[in-house]
Amino acid sequence: MSVIVVTGSGGLIGSAAVEYFAALGLDIVGVDNNMRQQFFGIEASTVWNRQRLEGKLGKQYTHFDLDIRDVSGIDGLFQKYGKDIQAVIHTAAQPSHDWAATNPTEDFTINANGTMNMLEATRKYCPEAVFIFTSTNKVYGDTPNRLPLLELETRWEIEPGHQFTNGITEEMSVDNCLHSLFGVSKLAADQLVQEYGRYFGMNTACFRGGCLTGPNHSGAELHGFLAYLMRCAVIGKPYNIYGYKGKQVRDNIHNDDVMRAFHEAIKNPRSGAVYNIGGGRTSNCSMLEAIRLCETISGRELSWKYVEESRIGDHIWWISDNSRLMTDYPGWKVEHSIDDILREIYEVNKERWFVTAT
């Protein structure tokens, strides 16, 4: 029996991993206690997604309602499956730098201590398994905001000819900057994953994503902006833009593109690997551009308000350079555009959003 353990299995990337690897014939063990609802409210609950997975996959999917901070619970799970575990895909996290500021201790224990628990359980019971960690571009803090940027009509853009014209690489420093507390907790976890790879010779990889998205994203105001933005357009809910004239740029990557990258890493693992992963130059937009796309796709005008104060540690411009990932795994590339992503989010969710809104 080959098993994939997926933490945060009710969330966007977790559930995508469950379905992707189940389709390859693997048994999936999911770990998720719906903390997302505690973070962001009932509208961000992942229970519907868990139920969807259980209904679709049946006995191929086994769910554990566990907190990753529960050392004995995680230990017991790994002891149960042992060396049948082929890979661990660790996506469970507190994902918002805004929320982290309201409860720094809980943020850190979930993101850093929880990751330590997962690494230790892997080392004890299935040390040959591939350990994939969904890190974040927030480990670079606000360093990207020091880049030479030009203000265009609908977006900020990097100065032509700069070394990061094609996107930001892993060579950017993580030091001497403002991270946000969330960025610090994720950086601690990121470094742990690297260290377990290099020190213990484990097969580990950190994927430093920015905006990872897709049709099953339980978007909320503080996290998951494309899904939340489209939901606001569909149900007529006002949206707030925070700072930078609404011209801040994000690259967005579809969860299917992320899964194919994870699969490549599992097939050909490395120790202590680190990859920036995002939509790159293929799939990116500013807030203003995203709003226009949502309005066009939904056929509805979005009501939005501009708030001058930006979020602490928020990036003005982020586009990932995927070159290192594509060098190690030349069969991988970004296949979904922003337009593709938003149209799928709309088509999959519009009826459910109408029902929940009424």
At residue 218, the pLDDT reads 72
At residue 225, the pLDDT reads 81
Paired sense of beta strands 317-318 and 130-136, if any: unpaired
Segments in the chain below pLDDT 50:
none
| Domains in the chain: boundaries | 3-357
Can you read off the two tokens belonging to residue 206?
């950190």
Residues 6+ apart with CB under 8 A from 208: 135, 136, 137, 139, 170, 190, 274, 275, 276, 277, 320
Decide: 207 and 277 in contact? Cβ < 8 Å.
Answer: yes
At residue 36, the pLDDT reads 87
Q: What is the pLDDT of residues 99-122, one digit of tens each?
A: 899 999 999 999 999 999 999 999
At residue 222, the pLDDT reads 61
CA 339/CA 341 separation, integer angstroms: 5
- What class does CATH assign to 3-357? alpha beta
At residue 96, the pLDDT reads 86
Decide: 137 and 320 in contact? Cβ < 8 Å.
Answer: yes
Decide: 156 and 248 in contact? Cβ < 8 Å.
Answer: yes
